[in-house]
Structure 1
Amino acid sequence: MKQPLGVILAGGQATRMGGGDKGLLPLGPGTLLSHVIDRLAPQVAGLALNANGDPERFGHLGLPVLRDSVEGFVGPLAGVLAGLDWAAGQGADTIVTAAADTPFFPADLVPRLLLAGEEMSEPLVLAATPGDKRGHLRHPTFGLWPVALREDLRAALAEGLRKVVLWTDRHGGREAVFPVTTFDPFFNVNTPEDLARAETLL
């Protein structure tokens, strides 16, 4: 399989941080987003950013900025679809998504997702961490997605589907389970307190 393209999902509204672009908040010497880019870029064949509004605010990054093709902030699946449409134009088979507010996700995210998707004709894998008795905790903004299913996803969004796992389960999606050591690698920054914690973890 060809190396996937990477898409960073930054389309949320960051209401708990007072609005604006969470990814542009400072963290250490960079921003939340710069840490995500530094982790994902070496693992993929190319990188784009999914964000709505004026793309110029991300101009300094030198990345393609993909807006949702579905209006009204319908959640991460709209960003996944925007990424799949972009990847189709690049001749890619798959994309891997990562959230713009999760600066410590695993440095082996992509190889482990690819390993979990081996032998799937349409590889569809979500990252997960060990959970409780009910099973693993899935992280729906971190996944491997096949370009071949983009029209199916477009139709599902048009029908009102919003929950990532409902769509991935429909297509036999798998999980790649990542260990949790001193902290959850998929810890994401939602509040000012989370940002302070991220500074400490950095």
Structure 2
Amino acid sequence: MPTAKPRFSRPSTPSITGVVLAGGLGRRMGGVDKGLQLLDGRPLVRHVTERLAPQVDRLMINANRSQEQYAALAYPLIADVISGFAGPLAGLHAALTAAETPLVATVPCDSPYLPLDLIERLYAGLQSQGADIAIASAGGRIHPVFCLCRTALRDKLEGYLQSGGRKVALWCAEMRGIEVDFSDQPEAFSNFNTLADLQKS
């Protein structure tokens, strides 16, 4: 799928920190660092940062290994505070801990076609329903790692993680998160889970 040339219209929102989640073990890719795998000659994480950066005020990358390679992108790096590769929620927790803005947005490092209006629409949904978390959905399927979350939820998330919770969708449901429909562009959430997926692109 070709990458569209970004056209950004930065909405009027409070300050938002964007975080690319690249802290996983890449098990389905044989243990390689997923964000550093190449698509059209560039790392997946590069595609993602180029689409997300203009939508937020600050951008960070959550990485637990390959720090030298990720540092080359010139964005601040944050590692999980919760040990043991606890998944995307650990990355969100690290972001909520490090952020100095009232809102944090997360996206995965393996979705290079993410919506160019992702943050604008998540924020509109958050505000219109008075929610603390907004997640993306498309075609009846939720994409909870595409998330906009109030920084004030850090302690609640820490408690959830310390109790053994790991499922993003379950935590969002417990926090009464709302869904924002992106069914007009479901292809924007296409991701690459295996090396074979990349080879087919």
Runs (4 or more) in structure 1 with deviation over 6 Å come to none
How far has the Cα of 1:122 moved from its partner?
A: 5.2
How far has the Cα of 1:99 moved from its partner?
A: 0.4
Match of 1:15 among 12, 22, 27: 27
Aligned identity (percent) is: 40
Match of 1:44 among 39, 56, 65: 56
Aligned to 1:184, what secondary structure does the other structure show? helix
> Are 2:195 and 1:195 aligned?
no
TM-score by length of 1: 0.88
| Aligned counterpart, 1:31 | 43
Q: Is the 8 A contact 1:122 1:149 kept in 2?
A: no
Stretches of structure 1 that go unaligned for 5 or more consecutive residues are 132-136
Aligned to 2:107, what secondary structure does the other structure show? strand
| Aligned counterpart, 1:134 | none
Pick closer, same or farther for the CA change 1:151–1:120 going to 2, 3 Å: farther
TM-score by length of 2: 0.88
Match of 1:184 among 180, 184, 187: 187
Distance in 2, Cα, partners of 1:121 & 1:64: 30
| Counterparts of residues 120-159 of structure 1 (less than 5 Å) | 123-131=132-140, 137-159=141-163
| Counterparts of residues 95-174 of structure 1 (less than 5 Å) | 95-119=104-128, 123-131=132-140, 137-174=141-178
Q: Is the 8 A contact 1:24 1:32 kept in 2?
A: yes
Counterpart residue type for residue 152 of structure 1: K
Stretches of structure 2 that go unaligned for 5 or more consecutive residues are 1-12
Counterpart residue type for residue 15 of structure 2: Q
How far has the Cα of 1:20 moved from its partner?
A: 2.2
Aligned residues: 189
Q: Is the 8 A contact 1:8 1:50 kept in 2?
A: yes
Aligned to 1:106, what secondary structure does the other structure show? coil
Q: Is the 8 A contact 2:131 2:177 kept in 1?
A: no
| Aligned counterpart, 2:16 | 4
Q: What is the Cα-based RMSD across aligned positions, in Å?
A: 1.6
